[in-house]
Amino acid sequence: MWGCKRVMALALVCRAVFTALLAAAVAGAWPVSVIVGLHVVASFAGNLYGPAVRAWIAHEHPAGERVRAYGALRVAQNAAWAVGPAIGGFMAGWSYALMFAATSALSLVCLGLLLGLVPAAPAARSGEGFAWSGSLMAARDPRCLELALLSLLIACSMAQLVAPLSVHATAHGGLTETKVGFLFAVNGALVVLFQQAATRVVARVALTRAAAAGCLFYLAGWSWIGFARGWWPLALGMTVVTVGEIVVSPSIEALAANLAPARLKGRYLGFQGLLQSLGQALGPLLGGLGHQHFSGGLTPAPWLAAGALAGAAGWGFWRLGRRIDSVEEGLVLQEVA
């Protein structure tokens, strides 16, 4: 039985350890297969942080307010995202190993802040824990299972944003590492500037419809990026993708919380987050394989595939909306249970 705060702490420790190993692997020129494996494990373990944070928020906010709360969380995350890639781009120009080592150190700083400043989750204080063994029980709920599978699908598509896009931008887009850093800064800056305004719009419509619309932006953005060359065309594609991110991310997080029974939020969000984390870990791996096997005139193929995944997820969210009520869609304010 794990409290949300303990899961967050474990995720930060794992992220610190495995990014430190990545730094050693890059510095020591370890085999590529080992570096890829460490990246997958680091991504999966570190992304376990998200479900615990979302569970904590779900207990603090009623259904009609969760999309705004998750939107505010994303603004805070992307304030750092706007600065981090730019700094990382400069650091990568000197040493990738240094960049990973700095990430590991910052994870430990975040761990200290978590342990010192964040109170125990409401679930933990009332005796309900965040049990990973019980999370799989949520798969028995057909709607939760469908949402989790859709989360995995769109997460695979969304995960092309970091490593695969970096490789594409330098190998085929004509960008230097420094310019790639500024490209990612565009993503973070747009989220910081427009997430709250977009969240207010999303709060007025059904969450499944908002998620479906956001998936269409991913479809358009990735398809464009597959053919884009140069900083400005890639920045345009990044802008379209970021619109999708601004809409999709808080919508899915609020949906997962709203579909969960009051006393089982940790389990439901754990299961949904587990599959979403799996998608976030598999996405870069699948993207890397696509870029490795498709080149020349087939260079856009991996991006068209990523767009197709997003389109399929959008269709799934639209179908899911037929089977959930207005409270679960976030259209009716309901007190926290």
Helices 142-158 & 231-259, crossing angle to 10 degrees? 160
Q: At which residue do the structure tokens 């904590």 appear? A: 56
Cα dist. 58→39, 45, 53, 71, 133 in Å? 30, 22, 9, 13, 20
Our measurement of the distance from residue 122's CA atom to the centroid of its chain's CA atoms, rounded to an integer in Å, reads: 24
Q: What's the whole-number average pLDDT of the chain?
A: 84
Residue-wise pLDDT for 180-190, tens only, equals 888 888 887 88
Q: How many Cβ atoms are within 10 Å of 161's Cβ, its own excluded?
A: 24
Which CATH number is associated with domain 4-323? 1.20.1250.20
Is 236 a residue whose pLDDT tops 80?
yes
Using a pLDDT cut of 70, give the percent of the chain over it: 90
Q: At which residue do the structure tokens 């990430």 appear? A: 103
Pick from 212, 154, 221: which is nearest to 187 by CA? 221
Read off the pLDDT of each residue in 2-29 and give the average, rounded to a whole number: 88
The per-residue pLDDT for 333 is 57
Highest mean pLDDT among 25-39, 46-60, 92-106, 236-250: 236-250
The per-residue pLDDT for 121 is 59
Higher local confidence (pLDDT), 45 or 121: 45
pLDDT category at 296 given cuts 50, 70, 90 is low
pLDDT category at 336 given cuts 50, 70, 90 is very low
Residue-wise pLDDT for 67-81, tens only, equals 788 888 878 877 776
Residue-wise pLDDT for 172-210, tens only, equals 888 988 888 888 888 878 888 888 888 888 888 899 999
- Would you kindly state where each structural domain of the chain is located, as residue ranges? 4-323
Our measurement of the distance from residue 319's CA atom to the centroid of its chain's CA atoms, rounded to an integer in Å, reads: 22
SS (H, E, C) the chain: CCCHHHHHHHHHHHHHHHHHHHHHHHHCCCCHHHHHHHHHHHHHHHCCHHHHHHHHHHHHCCHHHHHHHHHHHHHHHHHHHHHHHHHHHHHHHHCHHHHHHHHHHHHHHHHHHHHHHCCCCHHHHCCCCCCHHHHHHHHHCHHHHHHHHHHHHHHHHHHHHCHHHHHHHHHCCCCCHHHHHHHHHHHHHHHHHHHHHHHHHHCCCCHHHHHHHHHHHHHHHHHHHHHCCCHHHHHHHHHHHHHHHHHHHHHHHHHHHHHCCHHHHHHHHHHHHHHHHHHHHHHHHHHHHHHHHCCHHHCCHHHHHHHHHHHHHHHHHHHHHHHCCCCCCCCCCCCCC
